[in-house]
Amino acid sequence: MGQTQPHLEIAHDLFREAEVASLTLRHARRQRTDMDEVAERVASVIQHMALQHAAVAVAADLVATARDKLLILCTTCGQQCQNRAETYVHTLETGHAEFKQTQQVGYFDRTPLRRTCKACGYACANRAESWIHTEETGHTEFSVVRDGCEDRTPNPATCTTCGHSCANRAESWEHTEETGHTGFSLDRTTNPMTCTTCGHVCASRAESREHTEETGHSRFERKDGEREGSEDRTPDPMICKTCGHSCANRAESWEHTEATGHRTFCGIGGISALMESLGSLQQLHLQKLQLHQALHDPVLYHQTSPEAAREILRSQKMRRGSGGLAGGGIYFADSKERRSPFLESIGLHPMVTQQALQEATNKKAHKRGVILQASAACNAD
């Protein structure tokens, strides 16, 4: 029994401290806050420890620890208050009446966010100073400057009517009141725009719109010349797929389209793309040459295009005038057959068999019996 006597004394002492804390909290119920609520919970924990776990004497430090972690902050300027009395004093001094509490462990003191007036560039230490500045000057727009960020400076502007330069928006308002000029363009030279048609440099999008209204040029390119490690953008060259004409940029392609009517172009991304484009152009020109020769040659020899041959076979309006000559080839109908307006214009009516089409594809059509003269075809009936 003698060994349990010290533990009972410690338990009685902790119990008395818990009762004192409970009495203190009862008197403060009329002004209850979140901090008092947390302290009451800690006191109940201490009372529980005093009755059940008397050996844990360090539990009394929980009240002070919890109160140290509770912070009361002014939502207007960020001022930290230790208790409600300090909030009353802060309200009397500044007029700020809104506060909030935080229970974050390891909380760092918050500093008020600085603000800069967008109109005149005046720096305000907090929101209260920005309100005072608004009452004095009437400026209502501010930009928040956080730690580690540079102060934002107002963009200079130039009057589009008289060319007067204004350092900020406030000076532009004064200039408008004095002269009545309301049009201004921001002097942003970090990313100008260049007209791809005439090369005119526009400092802003507004200037590019004015240039479009004056000249009709509507294509612009941005240049990032001031950025380190970046090169100026150059227009990509193009090749006309119809005639093979080379255009340095899109503006030249538009001029080529207006002059010739050709509308299809292919960009040149490198040597391989250039060779591929030239190869496709060569095939295209060869097909067009064959079709042209097949339609305008008086005897319509074997270079008749496969498309024209298929169209002739599909119509089935021709008859052979072989006259005893064997072998597939190109034949001509007599004048009694019904001819299309196009064939009437060239004076001939061709008919190509499937064998002749195959021989023309294999380039073996140069042999006897392939071509018949028009007179022989007309006489054979």
Residue 139 has pLDDT above 80, yes or no: yes
Range of the domain at 275: 238-279
Residue 206 falls inside a structural domain? no
What residues contact 208, with CB distance under 8 A and at least 6 apart? Answer: 193, 195, 202, 220
In this prediction, residue 367 has a pLDDT band, given cuts at 50, 70 and 90, of: very low
Q: pTM for the complete prediction?
A: 0.19
Residue 208 falls inside a structural domain? no
Q: Are residues 307 and 373 in the same domain?
A: yes
Least confident of 171-180, 214-223, 224-233: 224-233
What is the pLDDT at residue 260? 85
Length in residues, the chain: 381
What is the pLDDT at residue 225? 43
Tens digit of each residue's pLDDT (9 = 90 or more) over 253-271 = 888 888 888 877 776 554 4
Mean pLDDT of the chain: 63
Number of structural domains, the chain?
A: 5
Q: Are residues 373 and 304 in the same domain?
A: yes
Residue 293 falls inside a structural domain? no
Better-scored residue on pLDDT, 311 or 9: 9
Residue 184 falls inside a structural domain? no
- Distances from the Cα of 54 to the Cαs of 16, 64, 122, in angstroms? 12, 19, 62
Q: Are residues 360 and 332 in the same domain?
A: yes
